[in-house]
Amino acid sequence: MPQDATSLPSAARHQGYGLITLSALVITGMIGSGVFTTSGFALDSLGSPRAVLAAWAVAGVIATCGAVAFGALAMRMPESGGEYLYLSRAVHPFAGFLAGIVSLTAGFSGSVALAALACERYLGPLLPLPAWLPPHGIAAAVVLTCGLGHATASSLAVRANTLIVLLKITAIFTLIGFGYVALAGRSEATAVDITSSLSLGSFASTVMWISFSYAGFNQAVYVASEARQPQRTVPAALLIGTVLTTVIYLLLNDVFLRSADVATLAGRPEVAALAAAALGGQSFEGWMRLAIGMSTFSAVAGMMMAGPRVSASMARDGVFPQVFTGPHGISRAAMLQTALALILVYQASILDLLNYLGVTLSLFSAFAVTTLFLPTHRANREGRPPLKAMVLGAAGLYVLTTFGFVILMTLHEPRHLLGTLATIILGGLAWLLVRHRPPEC
């Protein structure tokens, strides 16, 4: 069975991941591909830069509430596994199994594929690519490099990831500063709304797209068993990482959306590169592409670090192949995630992945948070103090707004829910094959 972090020897807990590493993991999971690809589609949907910024702000508030709620879950159950762990313990093993399948396919493999495709989109024009390189060769190379790195040299990859995150944040704030300096000497007449198709349904759909960019706010809970003092460091890392990322997102999008006329940016996935070219010419665009390439690469690395822990946790509970247990279980899970991500790289577009990932990940995160309100939650039977009203309020707001936006989006565009339903159906069929498997104790 999964080992509770509090039962580990003190020396092992002391040597685990600290606040900086965990905060870096959260930021890595969030600042990946979404912020550099979503706003062009959002602008095309809403028609107004102000509406797009409002959507980013709303999604940021929802994510912050989610970070507070997941921090409470981590305090009560400081083990690795994320939504799988919380739902399987508090609701039913089948609920946890579905969440685990979603984490494996959408949460990590799908997110890795999207980040790798975005990395290729931005870095491709900077690289002297040979004519024989097949389509999506850069994206595939990014996935393989990060997957093999975490499968064969996990500790080195973790240290490298933290360094890359620090460099990435420095580069992003430099780019934001340059952008505001360039905008200060320009007229803002370019930020003119196009004919707007703004409606409650379109706004809800846009928030769901954008929510993918915030989906990594709970990244640290997937490695909670390997954290130092997880009941303190994991909640703090979730909140620090989410708030800092929200500020970065709003500043970046303000620069992007004021850089060029709306018609130039609308519907384009490489919105950041277009904004950079409008602000500082080809030289600034090149630096922007390089920074985004580094950002998306580190996002792939971060998800390759967190994702295999879900598969390993499921295997220890007996609802996933036992080959993913033992000393080499994490490495094998990393290779499985690499293989699934490569399939998605060649089978889905950026917009397809945004539609699928935003809805699916938001729904299952909200399902996990609802366990805080269950009287049968394991933590309530362990004599720990009740949750504070502020935490429950944040959790309730996260659940209500997430479900509300999903309902509005479904009413506006029902087909966006098809991928989520297909995942749930396939997960249910898979459960029939594994449910009688005894857990490994």
pLDDT > 50? residue 394 = yes
In whole angstroms, what separates CA 344 from the centre of its chain? 16
All residues at 6 or more sequence positions from 55 whose CB lies less than 8 Å from its CB, including other chains: 42, 46, 203, 206, 207, 210
DSSP state of 124: G
DSSP state of 384: P
Question: Among all chains, which residue has been given the structure tokens 């939650």?
Answer: 377
Q: Can you say whether the dihedral through the CA atoms of 256, 262, 265, 268 is positive or negative? A: positive
Mean pLDDT of 104-117: 84
Report which of residues 346 and 260 the model is more confident about.
346
Q: Is the separation of the CB atoms in 347 and 32 below 8 Å?
A: no
pLDDT tens for 212-224 read 788 878 878 877 7
Report how far apart the first and last C-alpha atoms of the chain are (Å, whole number).
5
Buried b / exposed e over 239-255, threshold 16 CB at 10 Å, is bbbbebbbebbebbbbb
pLDDT tens for 127-137 read 887 878 888 88
Predicted confidence at residue 189, as pLDDT, reads: 44
What is the percentage of the chain residues whose pLDDT exceeds 90?
15
SS3 at position 90: helix
All residues at 6 or more sequence positions from 116 whose CB lies less than 8 Å from its CB, including other chains: 138, 139, 140, 142, 143, 296, 300, 341, 345
SS3 at position 77: coil
Predicted confidence at residue 367, as pLDDT, reads: 92
For residues 323 and 333, give the distance between their C-alpha atoms in angstroms, rounded to a whole number. Answer: 9
**162 band by pLDDT with thresholds 50, 70 and 90:** low
For residues 111 and 103, give the distance between their C-alpha atoms in angstroms, rounded to a whole number. Answer: 10
Report which of residues 209 and 190 the model is more confident about.
209
Predicted confidence at residue 433, as pLDDT, reads: 79
Domains and CATH numbers, the chain: 5-434 (1.20.1740.10)
Report CA-CA distances (Å) from 16 to 20, 223, 226: 12, 10, 5
Report which of residues 152 and 98 the model is more confident about.
98
- Return the closest-CA partner of residue 314 out of 107, 18, 70: 107
Mean pLDDT of 365-376: 86
For residues 186 and 50, give the distance between their C-alpha atoms in angstroms, rounded to a whole number. Answer: 18
Predicted confidence at residue 2, as pLDDT, reads: 35
Predicted confidence at residue 190, as pLDDT, reads: 46
Report if pTM > 0.95. no
